[in-house]
Amino acid sequence: MDERLRQLMREYQEGRFDAFDEIYAVLAPMLRRYLLAQCRDAARADDLVQETFLQIHRARHTFNPEFPLTPWAMAIARHVWLMHRRTASRRPWESDDVTGMEMAVRAEAASFADRADVRRALRKVAAPRRDAVIQHHLLGFSFKEIAERAGIAETAAKLRSSRGVAQLRTLLRGKGRA
Amino acid sequence: MTGMPHDLRARLVVDYQPVTPIAPPLARLLWLLPLAGLTLVAATLAFDLRGDAARLGLVGTWGASSLQAVIGLALAGAALREAVPGREWNRTAIAWWLVLPLLWIVLVTLGSWETSPTLVRRGWWFVGVLCFGSSLASGLPVVALASVLAARAYPTRPAVAGALLGLGAGLVADAGWRLFCHFSEPAHVLSAHVGAVLMSMLIGAWLATVICRARRRS
Protein backbone atom coordinates (compact mmCIF):
# COMPACT_ATOMS: atom_id res chain seq x y z
CA MET A 1 0.00 0.00 0.00
CA ASP A 2 2.75 2.44 0.90
CA GLU A 3 4.46 1.83 -2.43
CA ARG A 4 1.23 2.95 -4.12
CA LEU A 5 1.00 6.01 -1.85
CA ARG A 6 4.57 6.96 -2.65
CA GLN A 7 3.80 6.71 -6.33
CA LEU A 8 0.69 8.87 -5.91
CA MET A 9 2.60 11.50 -3.96
CA ARG A 10 5.30 11.52 -6.64
CA GLU A 11 2.59 12.11 -9.23
CA TYR A 12 1.10 14.89 -7.08
CA GLN A 13 4.51 16.52 -6.85
CA GLU A 14 4.87 16.26 -10.61
CA GLY A 15 1.55 17.97 -11.31
CA ARG A 16 -1.26 15.37 -11.33
CA PHE A 17 -3.73 17.01 -8.97
CA ASP A 18 -6.16 14.07 -9.01
CA ALA A 19 -3.58 11.89 -7.28
CA PHE A 20 -4.38 13.80 -4.09
CA ASP A 21 -7.93 12.39 -4.13
CA GLU A 22 -6.57 8.87 -3.75
CA ILE A 23 -4.06 9.97 -1.13
CA TYR A 24 -6.90 11.63 0.77
CA ALA A 25 -9.07 8.51 0.53
CA VAL A 26 -6.35 6.33 2.03
CA LEU A 27 -4.86 8.68 4.60
CA ALA A 28 -7.88 10.64 5.86
CA PRO A 29 -9.45 7.85 7.99
CA MET A 30 -6.11 7.03 9.59
CA LEU A 31 -5.28 10.68 10.30
CA ARG A 32 -8.78 11.26 11.65
CA ARG A 33 -8.43 8.31 14.04
CA TYR A 34 -5.13 9.71 15.29
CA LEU A 35 -6.44 13.26 15.67
CA LEU A 36 -9.68 12.10 17.27
CA ALA A 37 -7.67 10.14 19.82
CA GLN A 38 -5.79 13.34 20.62
CA CYS A 39 -8.63 15.87 20.81
CA ARG A 40 -11.66 13.61 21.59
CA ASP A 41 -13.95 15.91 19.62
CA ALA A 42 -15.30 14.68 16.29
CA ALA A 43 -15.91 18.09 14.71
CA ARG A 44 -12.54 19.38 15.85
CA ALA A 45 -10.86 16.22 14.53
CA ASP A 46 -12.49 16.84 11.12
CA ASP A 47 -11.14 20.39 11.11
CA LEU A 48 -7.69 19.17 12.07
CA VAL A 49 -7.79 16.58 9.28
CA GLN A 50 -8.53 19.38 6.81
CA GLU A 51 -5.73 21.47 8.26
CA THR A 52 -3.37 18.48 8.05
CA PHE A 53 -4.13 17.99 4.36
CA LEU A 54 -3.58 21.70 3.74
CA GLN A 55 -0.19 21.38 5.40
CA ILE A 56 0.58 18.17 3.49
CA HIS A 57 -0.15 20.14 0.33
CA ARG A 58 2.10 23.01 1.42
CA ALA A 59 4.91 20.65 2.47
CA ARG A 60 4.65 18.38 -0.56
CA HIS A 61 8.10 19.39 -1.80
CA THR A 62 9.67 17.91 1.36
CA PHE A 63 8.45 14.39 0.65
CA ASN A 64 11.22 12.12 -0.54
CA PRO A 65 9.71 9.22 -2.55
CA GLU A 66 12.49 6.94 -1.29
CA PHE A 67 10.86 6.99 2.15
CA PRO A 68 7.36 5.82 3.19
CA LEU A 69 4.58 8.40 3.00
CA THR A 70 2.67 7.45 6.15
CA PRO A 71 5.29 8.51 8.76
CA TRP A 72 5.76 11.76 6.83
CA ALA A 73 2.02 12.49 6.88
CA MET A 74 1.70 11.42 10.52
CA ALA A 75 4.51 13.79 11.50
CA ILE A 76 2.61 16.64 9.86
CA ALA A 77 -0.63 15.60 11.60
CA ARG A 78 1.17 15.53 14.94
CA HIS A 79 2.59 18.98 14.21
CA VAL A 80 -0.88 20.30 13.33
CA TRP A 81 -2.26 18.88 16.58
CA LEU A 82 0.54 20.37 18.70
CA MET A 83 0.13 23.77 17.00
CA HIS A 84 -3.60 23.61 17.63
CA ARG A 85 -3.07 22.72 21.28
CA ARG A 86 -0.55 25.51 21.73
CA THR A 87 -2.85 28.02 20.05
CA ALA A 88 -5.80 26.90 22.16
CA SER A 89 -3.82 27.36 25.36
CA ARG A 90 -2.87 30.90 24.29
CA ARG A 91 -6.34 31.89 23.07
CA PRO A 92 -7.21 35.12 24.87
CA TRP A 93 -10.91 34.34 25.00
CA GLU A 94 -13.09 31.28 24.68
CA SER A 95 -16.08 31.53 22.41
CA ASP A 96 -17.84 28.64 24.18
CA ASP A 97 -20.03 31.12 26.01
CA VAL A 98 -21.77 33.13 23.32
CA THR A 99 -24.79 34.06 25.41
CA GLY A 100 -23.33 37.37 26.53
CA MET A 101 -22.10 38.36 23.10
CA GLU A 102 -23.82 41.34 21.47
CA MET A 103 -24.71 40.41 17.93
CA ALA A 104 -25.07 43.47 15.77
CA VAL A 105 -27.33 42.38 12.92
CA ARG A 106 -29.13 44.37 10.31
CA ALA A 107 -32.87 44.83 10.88
CA GLU A 108 -33.80 42.82 7.77
CA ALA A 109 -31.60 39.93 8.92
CA ALA A 110 -33.61 39.53 12.13
CA SER A 111 -36.44 38.01 10.12
CA PHE A 112 -34.28 35.03 9.06
CA ALA A 113 -33.65 33.68 12.54
CA ASP A 114 -34.21 34.50 16.16
CA ARG A 115 -31.13 35.75 18.01
CA ALA A 116 -31.54 33.12 20.69
CA ASP A 117 -31.67 30.41 17.99
CA VAL A 118 -28.50 31.76 16.40
CA ARG A 119 -26.77 31.75 19.78
CA ARG A 120 -27.92 28.20 20.47
CA ALA A 121 -26.80 27.04 17.03
CA LEU A 122 -23.50 28.86 17.35
CA ARG A 123 -22.82 27.03 20.59
CA LYS A 124 -23.12 23.74 18.72
CA VAL A 125 -20.55 24.69 16.10
CA ALA A 126 -17.06 23.28 16.79
CA ALA A 127 -14.88 25.75 18.71
CA PRO A 128 -12.24 26.44 16.01
CA ARG A 129 -14.95 27.08 13.40
CA ARG A 130 -17.02 29.13 15.84
CA ASP A 131 -13.97 31.26 16.66
CA ALA A 132 -13.39 31.96 12.97
CA VAL A 133 -17.07 32.77 12.32
CA ILE A 134 -17.35 35.10 15.32
CA GLN A 135 -14.05 36.82 14.67
CA HIS A 136 -14.79 37.38 10.99
CA HIS A 137 -18.55 37.93 10.80
CA LEU A 138 -19.20 39.54 14.18
CA LEU A 139 -15.96 41.15 15.24
CA GLY A 140 -14.88 42.14 11.75
CA PHE A 141 -11.37 40.67 11.73
CA SER A 142 -9.86 39.89 8.34
CA PHE A 143 -8.88 36.29 7.62
CA LYS A 144 -5.25 37.33 7.72
CA GLU A 145 -5.70 38.70 11.25
CA ILE A 146 -7.60 35.59 12.35
CA ALA A 147 -4.86 33.40 10.94
CA GLU A 148 -2.21 35.39 12.80
CA ARG A 149 -4.12 35.17 16.08
CA ALA A 150 -4.64 31.44 15.73
CA GLY A 151 -1.19 30.68 14.31
CA ILE A 152 -2.61 29.02 11.22
CA ALA A 153 -2.53 29.66 7.47
CA GLU A 154 -4.92 32.24 6.03
CA THR A 155 -6.51 29.58 3.85
CA ALA A 156 -7.16 27.49 6.97
CA ALA A 157 -8.90 30.46 8.62
CA LYS A 158 -11.11 30.87 5.55
CA LEU A 159 -11.81 27.16 5.56
CA ARG A 160 -12.82 27.18 9.23
CA SER A 161 -15.08 30.17 8.74
CA SER A 162 -16.83 28.79 5.65
CA ARG A 163 -17.32 25.40 7.29
CA GLY A 164 -18.60 27.11 10.44
CA VAL A 165 -21.11 29.16 8.47
CA ALA A 166 -22.20 26.03 6.56
CA GLN A 167 -22.71 24.15 9.83
CA LEU A 168 -24.58 27.11 11.30
CA ARG A 169 -26.81 27.27 8.24
CA THR A 170 -27.56 23.56 8.50
CA LEU A 171 -28.40 23.88 12.18
CA LEU A 172 -30.70 26.87 11.63
CA ARG A 173 -32.37 25.17 8.67
CA GLY A 174 -33.06 22.17 10.91
CA LYS A 175 -34.51 24.51 13.50
CA GLY A 176 -36.74 26.11 10.87
CA ARG A 177 -38.11 22.74 9.81
CA ALA A 178 -38.78 21.63 13.38
CA MET B 1 -15.03 10.76 5.02
CA THR B 2 -12.91 9.29 2.25
CA GLY B 3 -13.97 11.81 -0.41
CA MET B 4 -12.08 15.08 -0.39
CA PRO B 5 -14.42 17.93 0.67
CA HIS B 6 -15.11 20.48 -2.04
CA ASP B 7 -13.97 23.44 0.03
CA LEU B 8 -10.62 21.77 0.73
CA ARG B 9 -10.23 20.96 -2.95
CA ALA B 10 -10.99 24.59 -3.83
CA ARG B 11 -8.28 25.80 -1.43
CA LEU B 12 -5.70 23.40 -2.82
CA VAL B 13 -6.42 24.18 -6.46
CA VAL B 14 -5.74 27.89 -5.93
CA ASP B 15 -1.98 27.58 -5.50
CA TYR B 16 -1.37 24.10 -6.90
CA GLN B 17 1.63 23.69 -9.15
CA PRO B 18 4.22 20.97 -9.72
CA VAL B 19 7.13 21.02 -7.30
CA THR B 20 10.63 19.61 -7.31
CA PRO B 21 11.25 17.42 -4.28
CA ILE B 22 13.75 18.95 -1.90
CA ALA B 23 17.28 17.53 -2.09
CA PRO B 24 18.45 15.13 0.64
CA PRO B 25 20.10 16.75 3.71
CA LEU B 26 23.61 15.83 2.61
CA ALA B 27 23.12 17.49 -0.78
CA ARG B 28 21.71 20.61 0.88
CA LEU B 29 24.69 20.62 3.21
CA LEU B 30 26.91 21.26 0.18
CA TRP B 31 25.43 24.78 0.03
CA LEU B 32 27.00 25.46 3.41
CA LEU B 33 30.47 24.16 2.55
CA PRO B 34 31.98 27.29 0.91
CA LEU B 35 30.78 29.59 3.69
CA ALA B 36 31.86 27.14 6.38
CA GLY B 37 35.30 26.82 4.77
CA LEU B 38 35.64 30.58 4.63
CA THR B 39 34.59 30.88 8.28
CA LEU B 40 37.20 28.31 9.25
CA VAL B 41 40.11 30.18 7.66
CA ALA B 42 38.86 33.79 8.03
CA ALA B 43 40.56 34.62 11.36
CA THR B 44 43.86 33.08 10.27
CA LEU B 45 43.79 34.97 6.96
CA ALA B 46 42.79 38.28 8.58
CA PHE B 47 45.26 38.10 11.48
CA ASP B 48 47.68 35.23 11.83
CA LEU B 49 48.00 31.70 13.10
CA ARG B 50 48.15 31.52 16.91
CA GLY B 51 51.54 32.25 18.44
CA ASP B 52 51.96 28.79 19.96
CA ALA B 53 51.16 26.92 16.71
CA ALA B 54 54.64 25.39 16.62
CA ARG B 55 54.17 23.90 20.08
CA LEU B 56 50.70 22.53 19.30
CA GLY B 57 51.79 21.15 15.94
CA LEU B 58 49.70 20.56 12.86
CA VAL B 59 47.42 18.11 14.66
CA GLY B 60 46.79 20.48 17.57
CA THR B 61 45.99 23.44 15.31
CA TRP B 62 44.60 22.62 11.85
CA GLY B 63 43.87 18.98 12.69
CA ALA B 64 41.73 19.72 15.76
CA SER B 65 40.02 22.72 14.12
CA SER B 66 39.24 20.82 10.91
CA LEU B 67 37.75 17.95 12.87
CA GLN B 68 35.70 20.44 14.92
CA ALA B 69 34.44 22.06 11.69
CA VAL B 70 33.48 18.62 10.35
CA ILE B 71 31.54 17.95 13.58
CA GLY B 72 29.85 21.34 13.11
CA LEU B 73 28.87 20.45 9.56
CA ALA B 74 27.60 17.05 10.71
CA LEU B 75 25.38 18.91 13.18
CA ALA B 76 24.11 21.14 10.37
CA GLY B 77 23.36 18.01 8.33
CA ALA B 78 21.51 16.54 11.32
CA ALA B 79 19.50 19.76 11.54
CA LEU B 80 18.61 19.66 7.85
CA ARG B 81 17.36 16.11 8.33
CA GLU B 82 15.41 17.21 11.41
CA ALA B 83 13.69 19.80 9.20
CA VAL B 84 12.00 17.10 7.10
CA PRO B 85 8.69 15.74 8.51
CA GLY B 86 8.93 12.12 9.60
CA ARG B 87 12.72 12.23 9.80
CA GLU B 88 12.99 13.98 13.16
CA TRP B 89 15.57 12.75 15.67
CA ASN B 90 14.41 11.18 18.90
CA ARG B 91 15.22 12.81 22.23
CA THR B 92 18.20 10.59 22.98
CA ALA B 93 19.76 11.34 19.61
CA ILE B 94 19.21 15.09 20.09
CA ALA B 95 20.83 14.90 23.52
CA TRP B 96 23.87 13.18 22.00
CA TRP B 97 24.02 15.70 19.17
CA LEU B 98 24.07 18.52 21.73
CA VAL B 99 26.41 17.01 24.31
CA LEU B 100 29.11 15.31 22.20
CA PRO B 101 30.29 18.46 20.36
CA LEU B 102 30.57 20.33 23.65
CA LEU B 103 32.57 17.44 25.12
CA TRP B 104 34.83 17.67 22.09
CA ILE B 105 35.51 21.37 22.78
CA VAL B 106 36.32 20.59 26.42
CA LEU B 107 38.67 17.82 25.27
CA VAL B 108 40.47 20.11 22.79
CA THR B 109 40.67 22.87 25.41
CA LEU B 110 42.27 20.59 27.98
CA GLY B 111 44.60 19.14 25.34
CA SER B 112 45.74 22.61 24.24
CA TRP B 113 46.19 23.70 27.87
CA GLU B 114 48.24 20.60 28.58
CA THR B 115 50.50 21.13 25.55
CA SER B 116 50.77 24.92 25.61
CA PRO B 117 49.47 26.62 28.79
CA THR B 118 48.89 30.30 28.05
CA LEU B 119 47.11 32.51 30.59
CA VAL B 120 45.27 35.73 29.88
CA ARG B 121 47.41 37.92 32.12
CA ARG B 122 45.93 41.36 31.40
CA GLY B 123 42.47 42.50 30.35
CA TRP B 124 40.77 39.16 31.05
CA TRP B 125 37.30 40.55 30.48
CA PHE B 126 38.32 42.60 27.45
CA VAL B 127 39.90 39.58 25.76
CA GLY B 128 36.91 37.47 26.74
CA VAL B 129 34.41 39.89 25.24
CA LEU B 130 36.53 40.25 22.09
CA CYS B 131 36.75 36.48 21.58
CA PHE B 132 33.06 36.02 22.40
CA GLY B 133 31.90 38.76 20.02
CA SER B 134 34.26 37.88 17.16
CA SER B 135 33.59 34.17 17.32
CA LEU B 136 29.83 34.79 17.49
CA ALA B 137 29.89 37.32 14.64
CA SER B 138 31.91 35.06 12.35
CA GLY B 139 29.39 32.25 12.84
CA LEU B 140 26.28 34.33 12.18
CA PRO B 141 26.34 34.15 8.35
CA VAL B 142 26.46 30.35 8.59
CA VAL B 143 23.58 30.39 11.09
CA ALA B 144 21.53 32.64 8.80
CA LEU B 145 22.15 30.57 5.65
CA ALA B 146 21.55 27.31 7.49
CA SER B 147 18.28 28.64 8.97
CA VAL B 148 17.04 29.57 5.52
CA LEU B 149 17.97 26.11 4.23
CA ALA B 150 16.10 24.49 7.12
CA ALA B 151 13.04 26.69 6.69
CA ARG B 152 12.84 25.77 2.99
CA ALA B 153 11.96 22.29 4.22
CA TYR B 154 9.14 21.96 6.75
CA PRO B 155 10.58 21.71 10.26
CA THR B 156 7.90 20.52 12.66
CA ARG B 157 10.23 21.52 15.52
CA PRO B 158 11.94 24.65 14.20
CA ALA B 159 13.56 25.43 17.55
CA VAL B 160 15.27 22.03 17.64
CA ALA B 161 16.41 22.27 14.01
CA GLY B 162 17.62 25.83 14.61
CA ALA B 163 19.46 24.92 17.79
CA LEU B 164 21.32 22.12 16.00
CA LEU B 165 22.15 24.48 13.13
CA GLY B 166 23.27 27.22 15.50
CA LEU B 167 25.43 24.82 17.46
CA GLY B 168 26.97 23.50 14.23
CA ALA B 169 27.67 27.01 12.93
CA GLY B 170 29.07 28.02 16.32
CA LEU B 171 31.45 25.05 16.25
CA VAL B 172 32.68 25.94 12.77
CA ALA B 173 33.21 29.57 13.80
CA ASP B 174 35.00 28.58 16.99
CA ALA B 175 37.16 26.13 15.05
CA GLY B 176 38.39 29.10 13.00
CA TRP B 177 38.74 31.47 15.94
CA ARG B 178 40.81 29.05 18.05
CA LEU B 179 43.39 29.03 15.23
CA PHE B 180 44.01 32.71 16.02
CA CYS B 181 43.37 32.97 19.79
CA HIS B 182 46.45 31.58 21.55
CA PHE B 183 45.02 31.84 25.08
CA SER B 184 44.50 28.25 26.14
CA GLU B 185 43.43 29.07 29.71
CA PRO B 186 40.39 26.83 30.27
CA ALA B 187 38.44 29.57 32.09
CA HIS B 188 38.82 31.84 29.04
CA VAL B 189 38.02 29.17 26.44
CA LEU B 190 35.09 27.67 28.32
CA SER B 191 33.49 31.05 29.02
CA ALA B 192 34.21 33.21 25.96
CA HIS B 193 34.53 30.58 23.22
CA VAL B 194 31.99 28.04 24.47
CA GLY B 195 29.74 30.96 25.44
CA ALA B 196 29.78 32.13 21.82
CA VAL B 197 28.96 28.61 20.62
CA LEU B 198 26.02 28.38 23.03
CA MET B 199 24.81 31.86 22.07
CA SER B 200 24.99 30.83 18.42
CA MET B 201 22.82 27.83 19.30
CA LEU B 202 20.22 30.09 20.95
CA ILE B 203 20.25 32.49 17.99
CA GLY B 204 19.81 29.56 15.61
CA ALA B 205 16.79 28.29 17.57
CA TRP B 206 15.25 31.76 17.64
CA LEU B 207 15.97 32.53 13.97
CA ALA B 208 14.59 29.23 12.67
CA THR B 209 11.43 29.72 14.75
CA VAL B 210 10.93 33.26 13.46
CA ILE B 211 11.53 32.28 9.82
CA CYS B 212 9.18 29.30 10.03
CA ARG B 213 6.47 31.34 11.72
CA ALA B 214 6.75 34.01 9.03
CA ARG B 215 6.60 31.39 6.26
CA ARG B 216 3.50 29.77 7.71
CA ARG B 217 1.73 33.12 7.88
CA SER B 218 2.63 34.04 4.31
Architecture of the CATH domain A107-177: Orthogonal Bundle (1.10)
Contacts B83 to A, Cβ<8 Å: 62
Q: How confident is the model at residue B195 (pLDDT cuts 50, 70, 90)?
A: very high
Q: How confident is the model at residue B188 (pLDDT cuts 50, 70, 90)?
A: very high
For A65, other C-beta atoms within 10 Å of its C-beta total 15
Residues of the domain holding B146: 25-217
B14 within domain boundaries = no
Mean pLDDT of A141-166: 84
For B156, nearest residue in chain A (alpha carbons): A79
Query: Looking at per-residue confidence, does B1 or A175 come out higher?
Result: A175
pLDDT at B110 (0 to 100)? 92
B201 within domain boundaries = yes
Q: How many structural domains are present in chain B? A: 1
The yes-or-no verdict on residue A107 having pLDDT over 70 is: no
B183 within domain boundaries = yes
For B89, nearest residue in chain A (alpha carbons): A75
Q: In Å, how far is B161's CA from the nearest CA of chain A? A: 14
B19 within domain boundaries = no
> Is A64 close to B84, i.e. CB distance below 8 A?
yes
B7 within domain boundaries = no
B17 within domain boundaries = no
Mean of pLDDT over chain A = 81
For the stretch B6-24, pLDDT in tens is: 888 888 888 888 898 888 8
Mean pLDDT of A103-129: 70
B141 within domain boundaries = yes
Query: A2-90 sits in which CATH class?
Result: mainly alpha
> Is B19 close to A72, i.e. CB distance below 8 A?
no
> Is B2 close to A24, i.e. CB distance below 8 A?
yes
Tell whether ipTM is more than 0.85: no
**Which among B7, B83, B84 is the nearest to A162, CB-wise?**
B7
> Is A158 close to B2, i.e. CB distance below 8 A?
no
Structural domain boundaries of chain A? 2-90, 107-177
